[in-house]
Structure 1
């Protein structure tokens, strides 16, 4: 029997790991997320936390955390991963159960079904494992056939517990057409409602590395099978730290805007989740501690303010093509009903030049500058462009 899937909040604006905090800070996290226009968060429900021993289930932590999110109206993409010690057959170099290897699939299915059943009314979309094409998260080495077995078993367990739930498959680190194709060929295509991907590009901009072109490759793989399934970017980010793959806090904010705008304007991507919501630590020189929109002390980085401006400006708008203005100028169009809004920037040199205007009088919105209004002349306005996107909104 075919089931209609749950309707999902259409907002594209998400983050990762909002709940990595102390219980007394959960409400603070949720309020700051809502204040920035964040409507989705991707949260892992780790098997070894939920079921540390066979027959022992521990729900208190996730009940509490998910309850806070529900109270604030934040939607959750549930990440089902990794192994749990008692269900693993592979041992690591120290002789311990390797929870990043293929688990016992019967036990895995029981875990998935139990989690989905418990949170059936709160979570409607489930992601199966994280970056299985990465040596970090799949031992002893990435194997698309093994992952396909886990994905199929997990998807079947999700649908048994909630036939209307959405299943996200693949969820690869970077765009990996070979891995996607191999998983699809082993049955992973049929059991996935959405295809997940993590197209990290640090320290480069999405234009320089042709992120959209890479996403088109995944869409082409879908088209080969007769249907283009939705793409969700369930992780993307750049750390604000001084290393070779890092950026200044201001440049991180620029990356937030350009990653989201180009991904959404492509028409291929439904949702984007920034990794991550808050810095994981306080060492300014450590990459993994500095991906957040917020610093560890909860103070907002420039990227948080840029995210808020973007979400407030484009919530409810859909991609509507782009203007081809030549050179390094990017001008993207978004539409809601009869209203259009534009996002424009230069991917090269700073410049002043005319660009199309959505109305006779427009408000210019640009982080971190104050809003201002100008008059259009024959449908065009002259504006200063640099690497940071400028939004043009009908006044």
Structure 2
């Protein structure tokens, strides 16, 4: 009887993927030692379809009179200009953001005149990469002050709304086919959702093609820390946002990751991170409201195991693969070519790949790296 009830429950709670889901990777190309082509081929080899990167307003505003590519932006510029295109199988997401030493003292724009200068930077970028960049993300974690520094005053929300509005208009004027997103909030944090909802009520959705989210969960309560719990929360967030707007809202997970440092830093073991990343990717691929997922990030940013910011990479600093990278390399070709369906009773999970097979797991159980590799390889045979 239990088996029949479980089967009925599973069948009543399906999620389905839509075609053309981008599974991408965040990079810091301007900090890497090799060429953009090297990293483009490396990323393509792992099966990712998109790269999230960019450079700040301040890095190209070399004086008040002009903007230009600098030594600090050469690698990213080479990628956006030359390597990145659909024929290579890797598109890009450009993050537009941060202040100017000339116009905003390195902080947030504080008035419309300063925002208009920011929009000049937006126009410069879009003109340079017209037809080469698929996505533009307007600012990164505005609410948190990422990239701004301490002591910088965040202006009222209507100025941010004006910034998004004017940036959107400029992007679409130059490149109507570009997809424009904004938000970069963590939907697991009530205060960030409240902030976004306030902007939506003021008309944000008229100036974006979707909302970007950063649903990091490694420091969250246990109920939402694992991929299953995270997606229960994200599903609720999406339902609430759609109700508020009266329409389905495309969501782009432009940052998500599991640091592999010490427990002190919020980190987990390489094996646990690999398991979480595989589960999360499968669950994301089965949600029709999610249009893209970019893992943060490609390469560890340092070697300090107690610093979580050093340990988000799918690769070590020497570019050798962690377990998660190997599993994704096996999994991503399957996701790109097939429809994905997830059914669950929030304990037993069944991910079906149309016409191929299934991946199953029980929430709360830990599986070894070899077990996950076997589960994925069965779909490849």
Structure 2 residue 77 is matched with structure 1 residue 63: yes
TM-score, with normalisation over the residues of structure 1? 0.79
Structure 2 residue 201 is matched with structure 1 residue 201: no
TM-score, with normalisation over the residues of structure 2? 0.81
Structure 2 residue 316 is matched with structure 1 residue 316: no
Choose which of 13, 20, 26 in structure 2 pairs with 1:16.
Answer: 26
Assess if the C-alpha contact under 8 Å between 1:170 and 1:183 holds in 2: no
Give the aligned partner of residue 370 of structure 2. 368
Residue 153 of structure 1 and its aligned partner are, at CA, apart by 1.5
How many Å separate the matches in 2 of 1:258 and 1:368? Answer: 15
User: What is the DSSP-based 3-state SS (H/G/I as helix, E as strand, rest coil) of the residue aligned with 2:143?
Assistant: coil
How many Å separate the matches in 2 of 1:370 and 1:189? Answer: 39
How many Å separate the matches in 2 of 1:128 and 1:15? Answer: 18
User: What is the DSSP-based 3-state SS (H/G/I as helix, E as strand, rest coil) of the residue aligned with 2:337?
Assistant: coil
For these two proteins, the number of residue pairs brought into alignment is 343
User: What is the DSSP-based 3-state SS (H/G/I as helix, E as strand, rest coil) of the residue aligned with 1:190?
Assistant: helix
Q: Which has the higher helix share?
A: 2
How many Å separate the matches in 2 of 1:118 and 1:109? Answer: 14
How many Å separate the matches in 2 of 1:370 and 1:164? Answer: 39
Alpha-carbon displacement from aligned partner over 1:326-381 (angstroms, at most 9, x marks no partner): 5732112233xxx2432211212469xxxxxxxxxxxxxx9435977xxxxxxxxx
Give 1 or 2 for the bigger CA radius of gyration. 1
Assess if the C-alpha contact under 8 Å between 1:47 and 1:80 holds in 2: yes
Give the aligned partner of residue 185 of structure 1. 201
Going from structure 1 to structure 2, the CA distance change for 1:348 and 1:173 (only over 3 Å counts) comes to closer
Assess if the C-alpha contact under 8 Å between 1:305 and 1:367 holds in 2: no
Give the aligned partner of residue 249 of structure 2. 229
User: What is the DSSP-based 3-state SS (H/G/I as helix, E as strand, rest coil) of the residue aligned with 2:228?
Assistant: coil
How many Å separate the matches in 2 of 1:221 and 1:81? Answer: 25
Choose which of 237, 245, 248 in structure 2 pairs with 1:217.
Answer: 237
Residue 72 of structure 1 and its aligned partner are, at CA, apart by 4.1
Higher relative contact order at CA 8 Å, sep ≥6: structure 1 or structure 2?
Answer: 2
Q: Which has the higher strand share?
A: 1
Alpha-carbon displacement from aligned partner over 1:272-298 (angstroms, at most 9, x marks no partner): 000111111122332111100011111
User: What is the DSSP-based 3-state SS (H/G/I as helix, E as strand, rest coil) of the residue aligned with 2:340?
Assistant: strand
Residue 106 of structure 1 and its aligned partner are, at CA, apart by 1.3
Give the aligned partner of residue 354 of structure 1. none
How many Å separate the matches in 2 of 1:318 and 1:194? Answer: 22
Which is worse superposed, 291-300 or 220-229?
220-229
How many Å separate the matches in 2 of 1:81 and 1:370? Answer: 38
Choose which of 239, 243, 246 in structure 1 pairs with 2:267.
Answer: 246
Going from structure 1 to structure 2, the CA distance change for 1:47 and 1:177 (only over 3 Å counts) comes to same
Residue 166 of structure 1 and its aligned partner are, at CA, apart by 1.3
Assess if the C-alpha contact under 8 Å between 2:271 and 2:369 holds in 1: no
Structure 2 residue 295 is matched with structure 1 residue 274: yes
Assess if the C-alpha contact under 8 Å between 1:101 and 1:140 holds in 2: no
Unaligned segments of structure 2, at least 5 residues: 1-18, 220-224
Alpha-carbon displacement from aligned partner over 1:164-220 (angstroms, at most 9, x marks no partner): 221102121444321221111222111110111000100521223x43333432343
How many Å separate the matches in 1 of 2:259 and 2:372? Answer: 26
How many Å separate the matches in 1 of 2:251 and 2:100? Answer: 29
Supply the RMSD in Å over aligned alpha carbons: 2.6
Give the aligned partner of residue 121 of structure 2. 111
Give the aligned partner of residue 347 of structure 2. 328
Structure 2 residue 157 is matched with structure 1 residue 144: yes
Assess if the C-alpha contact under 8 Å between 1:18 and 1:41 holds in 2: no
